[in-house]
Amino acid sequence: MRGKERKMTLEQTISAIRPLDEKSMTAARNRFTNIAMPLGGLGLLQDAIVQLAGILGQPVPDISRRAAVVFCADNGVVAEGVTQCGQEVTATVAENMGRGESTVCLMAKQLRMDVFPVDIGVARPIKSEKVLQFSVRCGTANFAHEPAMTRKEALEAVEIGIKMAEMCAEKGYSLLIGGEMGIGNTTTSSAVLCALSGKPVEAVTGRGGGLTEKLR
């Protein structure tokens, strides 16, 4: 299934962002004040509800329609032997998502959420019409030896995320969860975090999925 093309660019999206609706946020805070509960008793959850009120412009935010969007892609750094399974697993899991047979799909079902898997860069073709096709490239390059993506490709990937948000908004979804899936994603995430924070690799990198102290 090929997603419909959208026109919003990153710059247009940023310029379209508006301040939170303070009136709705105040109303949401006052509503909590009138409930028999400790002051600020819901902690960060309470803050999130107030923020949602400001985003949606609703004193009582309606999040009855919600969805998870999972962006699937392969990481070229897998060639360095940093994972416990092969790159082919990414496509398999993406196809399972298309059938509703993955952990995120099972959890989402319990919460009455819809799941939209997106092929944004899986190495091999996906055999599922229910996986949205927005592939930027067939897997990134191995960043141990060269840039994983060009700046143009990275921008295109971000704008695909914008397209998905637009699509979901047009379908009436008011709450979105963004996720990603791809073998080697822990290594890629660690590299990005190091680049953004300046912290050493050892400080931000764990053992990886499925590894324990005994398997070091």
What is the per-residue pLDDT across 115-152, written as a single tens digit (0 to 9) for each? 999 999 999 999 999 999 999 999 999 999 999 999 99
Residue 216's pLDDT is 54
Instruction: Using the CB atoms, write b or e for 35-55: b if 16+ within 10 Å.
Output: eeeeeeeeeeebeebbebbbb
CATH class of 66-205: alpha beta
Residues in the chain: 216
Determine the pLDDT at residue 3: 45
Q: In percent, how much of the chain has pLDDT > 70? A: 93
What is the number of other CB atoms lying within 10 angstroms of the CB of residue 168?
20
> Model's pTM, two decimal places?
0.89
Cβ–Cβ under 8 Å, residues 171 and 11: no
Spans of all domains in the chain: 19-56, 66-205
